[in-house]
Structure 1
Amino acid sequence: MKNNIIKNLALLICVTVFFSSCETIDYGNTNDDPSGPTKPVTSQLLTAAQSFMPFITVDEKAILYTQHIAEGQYPGWSNYSVLTFNYNGWYIGAMHDLHLIVNLLEDPETAISAVPFGPIENQLAVAKLLRTYYLQYMTDRWGYLPWTEAFQGVANPQPAFDSQESIYNFMFAEVDAALAMLNTSKDGPQGDVLFGGDMDRWETFGNSLKMQLAMRVSDVNPTLAQTKFEQAVASGTLIMDNSDNIEWHYGTDENADSPWEDNFRTREDYVMSVTMIEALRSNLDPRLFKYAEPARDSVFASPNFPGGIDAGYVGAPIGKVNGNVPDYSFITEDIIYEKLTPSPIFTAAQTRLNLAEGALKGWNVGSGTASEHYEAGIQASMDYWGVDSSDTADYIAAHPYNGIEEIAYEKWVSLFLQGPEAWAEWRRLDLPVLTPSPYASDVRIPVRDAYDAAIETNNQENYNAMIAAQGPDDLHTKLWWDVN
């Protein structure tokens, strides 16, 4: 062993001497690709950043946590058995691309190179809005994050963590700045695969995002929340009808199609949960027949709908090894077997139920009462899923508005498969009451994601400071806005 070390040191010294004795040679443009770009191309960066959207629209873990679905023969996330999560993919992927766009466009000298890809103010507005949307997703998973000292590379490989409160303040400022510079009379950015450069849609996206941010902090900073919420309402651009819903549309190519279709191409890992099925059944909710398919190999012993039409709908226990998946209902085949079925991002049902909660808080919602917006939210959800109008009317009549419990329940139901938002709203409201998996080693539904172990190893001083401020790095430390 000692001889090997000596030999390796000798070799290293020789190599070092060899390179230090060579002249510095200028190879000119030998390594430049004459057919490639010499500067960052904002249109390509934007497209690349938007390609991360399906990681949010189909976040199975969050959907499992909120018990819309259950796992089949391989329970993991539904038993809360994954204890740490790595955020690096976001920092080196979408967030890096958007950060690069913003830096390039905010510098007048470098912004000139981006002029061919659309009006600078609209490119910048879109990048800021999308970056904020992703950042909210991230901070609502982990809490504290490196932000003001992030993206510095070797200049600062150990960035400090920003508090979630400061991140939310930054996000509100970013959305306001983006909406102020956004110009709907001009073209949008090239490379925009979400809206094709339609800046009216981006304005709606921005104000919907502002409303979502405001509602999230409504219990911890009600004054700020009310101000931002009422600004979003006053914009007049919110989604009030399903025709204005914002969705992520998939492609036919295997690299761009629906993750749900990919999940069910060769395996059947997910089934409808007993929690969702029984909630819909007990409330005679006609969305049962739109969300799910009848089980192939079993029937439910105690149907509730007239004529027992719900007998074929069977939910699986949360966290159990549900080995014979044909005994349970699958998610509707319109989603799991279709490549092109879009995923909702912001919907009329979300807007209406947020307005109902805002009205309940005494905020200015423009027009309409909490009860009216509550009913409109149910109507929008039912219409979105193709429920018959008479069935919708019967359901609304049987489930009148009585306060926050009804709003929270309808949010949980209408956010079906919208995992991150459903999980966040459930954590904020603590409603509806969900029973944790009895098969888990720690029988508590997670309220955040813990950091990957490498974070502590590689950035220990800042990690320790963050833990001292935020709390233990586990799945059960509540985030800043989660005060109920």
Structure 2
Amino acid sequence: MTKHIYQWLIAGLSLATISCKKDLAEINKNPNAAENPQPDYLLTATEKITSDLYWGDANNFNSTLLIIQHWAKIQYTEPDRYIFSNSSFTSLWGTGYAQSITNLNTILQLPAEKANANYKGVALILRSWVFSLLTDNYGDIPYKEAGDIRQYLTPKYNTQKEVYFGLLDELKTAGASLTTGTSAPIAGDIIYGGNTARWKKFANALRLRIALRIADRESEKAKQVINEVLNDAGGLISSVDETARFTYTTPPQQNPVAAWFDTRDDYRIGKTLVDKLYALNDPRLPIFANKPTDATVTTYVGVPSGLTNSDANNLGFAKTSKPGSYFSTATAPAVILTYAEVLFGRAEAAARGFTTENAEDLYNQAIKASFNQYAITDLTVINNYTAQATVKFNAANFKKSIGEQKWIALFGQGLEAFAEWRRLDYPQLTAGAAGTLDGKIPVRFIYPGSEQALNATSYENAITNQGPDNLLTKLWFDQY
């Protein structure tokens, strides 16, 4: 009798657990989610949400652009001094999982008659990009169990190596699944206007990016992927026009940088970048920065990184340079992956001996592509720039050559510039003057505090594998 009672008790507890899990899943449903989701609307919304996430304040100009010293703060300087907490980096995690990945998973799960193979291929590419942003900055993350709260209320974390390897496979699959022509049209695509040939190139460009991300750890895998990409019939981004970008329109759909500067005035161009551009006589300086509004100041004036509030304020709002108007207009695009980045990647692959391409030629082409991106097309100007001893490609230290020029070319793309600075270790930056990390610079994001409370076991396992959950713990890809 006792045995039967025990069995019924276990069965009852099991049913209660299942019911509880179902109830929690229902509680956690997005009340704003469409009951009858349409792939084109979901695609437009996700591209906008993710572009804002990539280009907006929390993950870009209030964190990574400060860390890699493209921008600096003239007031409220705490983030510029590396004063971050586990609530500082909730945006990338929360929006990335709850909105971007959830929306893209919805497209992937729609029946074929509602979302054709091209919708699903594009969704898989975009999802891979979002996952790459998450692992680039946090390290180990929920990946294989992410985005399905009904099945995984507390998803396990995958190691960064597992995530990168998985994304390389998914991007290969996604690119191969896309068809060109009119047989499977897609609507709602702001990035490429439904051009699946360009989505194939973007998928391959992301594969190249991730392959280089793992190159110091898994060189043979990186070499294999890069050669697959170079030989793939889908090709790679091959012109400035093919750059992956989200194009904003007029308010309220404006660029988030423009939206910020409409009401706030607490950012300036970083002195580290201004000094470098002056030293190289770089024609991108007038694009990256505005001259101070004080007419007596005739040069571009950058703000040193990591000042105290009082020291920053004392420099004068009118006597320091804001980031260039090019980036703060309402219709300025959120640039995601450029032709220049692809060329720098190919140059690095050649310099590492992964390919037989000409590293120096590709490096020079990359600089030219970055200039062309900003309508600087005078060949004399470009050739004079690349001929400088401080710019010329150094095959013996390709990380320095590529690292410094890529850092400049990635201006405005804080998340990507932060990843590449950690990977290539150039330029060699000095910590902010009043930084709080004993002369060190952050090398990762802290996990959101909610993970400790809601997914404690997975969180603790990640810490055991990766190291302390602080700003100075190097991630797996950041070997040197």
Displacement, 1:390?
Answer: 2.4
Among residues 270, 277, 280, which one is paired with 1:283 in the alignment? 280
Alignment-derived partner of residue 377 in structure 1: 366
Trace 1:12-161 onto structure 2 (pairs within 5 A).
39-52=36-49, 53-58=51-56, 59-60=60-61, 61-84=63-86, 85-86=89-90, 87-104=93-110, 110-112=111-113, 114-115=114-115, 120-153=116-149, 155-161=151-157
Count residues in correspondence: 425
Among residues 417, 422, 426, which one is paired with 1:427 in the alignment? 422
Alignment-derived partner of residue 330 in structure 2: 339
Alpha carbons 1:125, 1:181 under 8 Å: kept: yes
Among residues 183, 193, 198, which one is paired with 1:196 in the alignment? 193
Alignment-derived partner of residue 402 in structure 1: 394
Among residues 243, 246, 271, which one is paired with 2:244 in the alignment? 246
Matching of residue 268 in structure 1 with residue 265 in structure 2: yes
Alpha carbons 1:290, 1:386 under 8 Å: kept: no
Q: State how far apart, in whole Å, the 1-side matches of 2:323 and 2:127 are.
A: 31
Q: State how far apart, in whole Å, the 2-side matches of 1:238 and 1:152 are.
A: 32
Q: State how far apart, in whole Å, the 1-side matches of 2:449 and 2:34 are.
A: 37
Matching of residue 464 in structure 1 with residue 460 in structure 2: yes
Q: State how far apart, in whole Å, the 2-side matches of 1:166 and 1:126 are.
A: 22
Among residues 441, 448, 454, which one is paired with 2:450 in the alignment? 454
TM-score by length of 1: 0.84
Bigger-Rg structure (1/2): 1
- AA of the residue aligned to 1:372: D
- AA of the residue aligned to 1:340: T
> Residue by residue, what CA displacement relative to the aligned partner does 1:236-273 show, whole Å, maximum 9, x if unpaired?
6222322322221001131x111111121122121111
Alpha carbons 1:409, 1:431 under 8 Å: kept: yes
Among residues 336, 339, 354, which one is paired with 1:363 in the alignment? 354
**SS of structure 2 residue aligned to 1:230:** helix
Displacement, 1:290?
Answer: 2.3
Alpha carbons 2:214, 2:222 under 8 Å: kept: yes
**SS of structure 2 residue aligned to 1:83:** coil
Q: State how far apart, in whole Å, the 1-side matches of 2:223 and 2:163 are.
A: 18
**SS of structure 1 residue aligned to 2:263:** coil
Displacement, 1:150?
Answer: 2.5
Among residues 340, 344, 349, which one is paired with 2:340 in the alignment? 349
Alpha carbons 2:198, 2:237 under 8 Å: kept: no
Which moves more between the two structures, 143-152 or 92-101?
Answer: 143-152
Displacement, 1:286?
Answer: 2.0
The change in CA–CA distance for 1:229 and 1:299 in structure 2 (over 3 A counts) is: farther
Alignment-derived partner of residue 213 in structure 1: 210
Displacement, 1:472?
Answer: 0.5
The change in CA–CA distance for 1:188 and 1:79 in structure 2 (over 3 A counts) is: farther
Displacement, 1:376?
Answer: 0.8
Displacement, 1:377?
Answer: 1.0
Q: State how far apart, in whole Å, the 2-side matches of 1:132 and 1:38 are.
A: 25
Q: State how far apart, in whole Å, the 2-side matches of 1:123 and 1:143 are.
A: 29
**SS of structure 2 residue aligned to 1:139:** helix
Unaligned runs of 5+ in 1: 1-35, 105-109, 301-310
Which moves more between the two structures, 468-477 or 280-289?
Answer: 280-289
Alpha carbons 2:55, 2:257 under 8 Å: kept: no
> Residue by residue, what CA displacement relative to the aligned partner does 1:153-181 show, whole Å, maximum 9, x if unpaired?
25432222111111111101110111111
Trace 1:308-347 onto structure 2 (pairs within 5 A).
312-320=299-307, 321=309, 322-323=312-313, 324-336=316-328, 338-347=329-338
Alpha carbons 2:346, 2:362 under 8 Å: kept: yes
Pairwise CA RMSD: 1.9
Q: State how far apart, in whole Å, the 2-side matches of 1:335 and 1:158 are.
A: 39
